[in-house]
Structures are given as C-alpha cells and as structure tokens.
Structure 1
Amino acid sequence: TICACSSRTFIDRVAVAKVAALARQAGMEVTLLSDLCELCENKSEAVREIAQTTIVACHQRAVKSLMAFAGEDNIRSLNLRNQTAEEVLAALGIDGSQLSSLDSSQTDEWMKQMEAMPQRLGEDAWYPVLDKDVCAECGKCLEFCPFGVYEMVDERIRVVHPHHCKNNCPACARTCPASAIIFPKYDRSPINGGEEKQERAIKLDTKELYAQTLRERLAARKIKPIIKNWKE
C-alpha cells in the first residue's frame, strides 16, 4: 500500500509511480491511497486491510502513530518521504537498479491515478496523533487546545475529536515537553514524526498562544450569523 499524500507535496509522485511499477512487476499487489491520514481519521474499515500490508508512506514514527490511532498497532512501514525509491525498493527485496530501465509506459498508469486524486490543501485531514512510547500523559496539550481535540480517557490523553483541529496549526506540538505530538503533514521534524531536529524546541508563551487561538475561534463564530442574516 502506497500513500501518495495527494493534497501535499511531501512525497515525490515520480518516485511513487516507479516504486509502484517495479513492485507490481515483481508480483506484488499494489494499492495507491490518496490520503492515509484521512482514512485513519475516519477509522475506515480499510485501515485493517492496510495494516496487513507493507505501508509505503512518510516518516515511520508518524505512520506507526497514525495506525495506532486507528486501532492498528502491528504494522510495517517504509519511508518514501525522505528515502529514495531505490532504498524503499531494496527494503521490499526489489533490485533498484531496474529504475534506470523503466519507461513511461510502465509508470503512466500510476501517474494518472495520482492526477485523478483529490487535492484539498487547507481542507485535507490535519490533526495530531500521539507517540505513546514517549507521551508522559502530562495533559499540557489538553490544557492548551481550545478546540476540544484532546480528552483524558482512563487517565490517558487521547485525540478524541481530530476534525476539530485547525488546519496547518501545530501549536500544541510545540508545547509538548516530550515531543510526543505528531502532525504527519507538517513540514519540519520532529513535529512531523521525523528523527531529525529541524525545528528547535522553543519556550513558548502558552497563555498568549491560547488567547490568540481563542480569539480566532470567537471571531469565526461571530462571522457566521452575519452571513446568515445577509442571506435572509
């Protein structure tokens, strides 16, 4: 199973098409997904089937946490976000030297599939997942988030309302002392589940961040009746 992350550009489409073509050529069953995050958010029945396959997607820590959120703990994943097609193929037991001999007739089918996938940047699935291997259950994310994304369930922090999260906002991850909060679609590590420290841990004024987010939420509520009255 390969996630093309159709609404973002983190995973190279040409690399996806090449891996898919050679995997099929090697006799493997290949399925392309437009957005693994969306399937996991909705806890789709397809997630159970996906868990039985090798998942080629983004950072392994992110994929592990995504699938655990959807109820699947035992998975195998490969990282096409920052590894080459040749490296991913090698992990699948496929000779990557065949990449140079691929022609467009072998990859066109996969490229067309990806071109037909929905692209909903700003409206696609965006929400946090938790790395429970490092989460300290301190509750800082619960205290900080004004949108009700998190809840304490049986004395453990849970992402209960992922669809409440504000798109492209990773602020709660920056407040986590354990770096346990992952936004798979964020552009920098470790917030996106990567192992590199591309984004320094910074001390934030969490009260000000909370106040700013709350102001935005209240402002959004005020706009709705104005629009409604105008239509009437």
Structure 2
Amino acid sequence: MPSPVLLCRCAHAATIPADRREAVRAGLASCGRAVAVVDDLCGLAARREPWLRDLVASAERLTVIACHPRAVRGLLGRAGANAVSTQIECHDLRSNSAESILEAIRADGLSAAPATSVDVPEEPTAETPAFWRPWFPVVDEDRCVNCRQCLEFCLFGVYEADADGRVVVAHPDHCKNNCPSCARLCPHVAIMFPKIEEESPVSGTLDDPAQAADKVRLTREQLFKGDGSLLDKLRARQARPRLLKDGLY
C-alpha cells in the first residue's frame, strides 16, 4: 500500500463542519488511491489500535485528512503509529476548505481513477453500551520537558510515569469529559485536546510556544475558581510523599 489516504470524520465532536467533511469524502472517490475513512482517529489512538499502526508501517507515504497537524502527529505517536520510514502528510480539515484539500491531493499528479476502499476496524458508537467519547490529552513530545506538572495536577489518574520516568497518558478514559485544565496549566503548551472547539494551542494550532503560553496558561487558583474543595484536594495530595518509582501519588 504505497500511499493511502486516511480521512477522519471526527464523528464525536463539532470541530469540523459536516458539509466540508462530506465534500472531501466525495472528492476522494476519484483520487485513484486507497482510502480509509474512520469515524474517530482519537478513539483509534486511545485504544492503540493495531490496524492504525499497521496502516502507517505498511505505507511509503500516508496522507491524513483530519484536525490540526500537530494534534494528528501527537495522536499517531500515542498510537505507536509514527514509523520513521513513512512520510506523513497532513491536511487540516479544521482550517482549510474542502476545495483546497482536494486540490492539494490532485496536485500530486494522481490519475482521476476510482479510489479503492480500505477495510477499517469496527468502532464503538454512541448507541453501544461500552461507548466512551474519546476526550483525552495528547502530548506534543517536541515541546514536553517532563516537568511533571500535569501528573501532579490531574485528579483523575490520567497520567503516570513510565519505566524511564517520562510522563505518559496511561489512562485516557479516566479523563473528565470536556476538561482541558491540564493543558492550561502546562508551562510549555505541550498538551493538546484535539476535540476542543476553541482555536488555540490547546487544540493543536502552530503558535509559538513562548507566546502561546501567555494566551492559554492559567494558575491552579484560576482553574479551580469557585471550587475550593478541588483545590484543597490537590494541595493535600501534593503534600503527601511521592512514590516516584511507580509514578504514583
């Protein structure tokens, strides 16, 4: 599979206009390439879906049409699908028109032949009992300095330290839906929430990290304004001895 196209429908968020998404899907029908359409790239990444890793590893080049490229690369990294031998080209469906994305793909010199469909894994839907809306933090490894503030801050057990002491998103399904607080606390703007509707570094825009911190960063007191009980819980937990070996608090 030399150069497939992966299109994310972002089915569980309102970040991409439906008409834009469907226009791209219709346009890909004649791109002459193998096309995989998934409901939710976030869900595949959270589950570390082997299908996604295999798709990336088997491709010489992969075109991904989804949300902001910085967030997409973080999701692929989370999934372990960042094969160094694969050239990954991202098209931003949040910021660009369907016409500009399709034009860029056609500019690759592809023939107007019918696309071939790639089988994708069955994904949970909102109607299934085990459904979880994949809202969770994605770490930009190029920006993260392992300061551990997210690990110390999160009250829901999303983060842990791995065997090398690096902070990782160990339990994405523990994250509180629509809560991006850890991203607003990060001093290096290294944490993203691809499903957040705002256009900011928290959603994965390519702002300069130093300037972006001034735009989105808040203090603990600002984050817990009006809810002193949560702030008290955080302070009490941070006052306990840390078991750094296991990344537990």
1:185 to partner: Cα distance: 0.5
- Is the Cα–Cα contact under 8 Å of residues 23 and 94 in structure 1 kept in the other structure? no
1:187 to partner: Cα distance: 1.5
Aligned equivalent of 1:19: 24
Query: Which among 91, 96, 100 is matched to residue 104 of structure 2?
Result: 91
Q: Deviations over 1:98-135 (max 9, x none)?
A: xxxxxxxxxxxxxxxxxxx9458x94101001000010
Aligned equivalent of 1:191: 202
CA distance in 1, matches of 2:229, 2:179: 14
Aligned equivalent of 1:166: 176
TM normalised by structure 2 equals 0.69
In structure 2, relative to structure 1, the CA distance for the partners of 1:198 and 1:24 (3 Å cut) is: farther
CA RMSD of aligned residues (A): 2.7
Counterpart mapping for 1:1-232 below 5 A: 1-51=6-56, 52=59, 53-74=62-83, 75-94=88-107, 118-119=125-126, 123-153=132-162, 154-188=164-198, 189-195=200-206, 200-206=215-221, 209=224, 211-212=229-230
Q: Deviations over 1:138-175 (max 9, x none)?
A: 00000000111111121211111111110100001111
CA distance in 2, matches of 1:174, 1:132: 17
1:39 to partner: Cα distance: 0.8
- Counterpart AA for 2:218: K
TM normalised by structure 1 equals 0.74
CA distance in 2, matches of 1:46, 1:78: 21
Aligned-pair identity in percent equals: 37
Stretches of structure 1 that go unaligned for 5 or more consecutive residues are: 96-116, 216-232
Stretches of structure 2 that go unaligned for 5 or more consecutive residues are: 1-5, 109-123, 234-249
Q: Which has the higher helix share?
A: 1
Deviates more, 1:206-215 or 1:183-192: 206-215
In structure 2, relative to structure 1, the CA distance for the partners of 1:199 and 1:125 (3 Å cut) is: farther
- Is the Cα–Cα contact under 8 Å of residues 3 and 56 in structure 1 kept in the other structure? yes
CA distance in 2, matches of 1:58, 1:32: 14
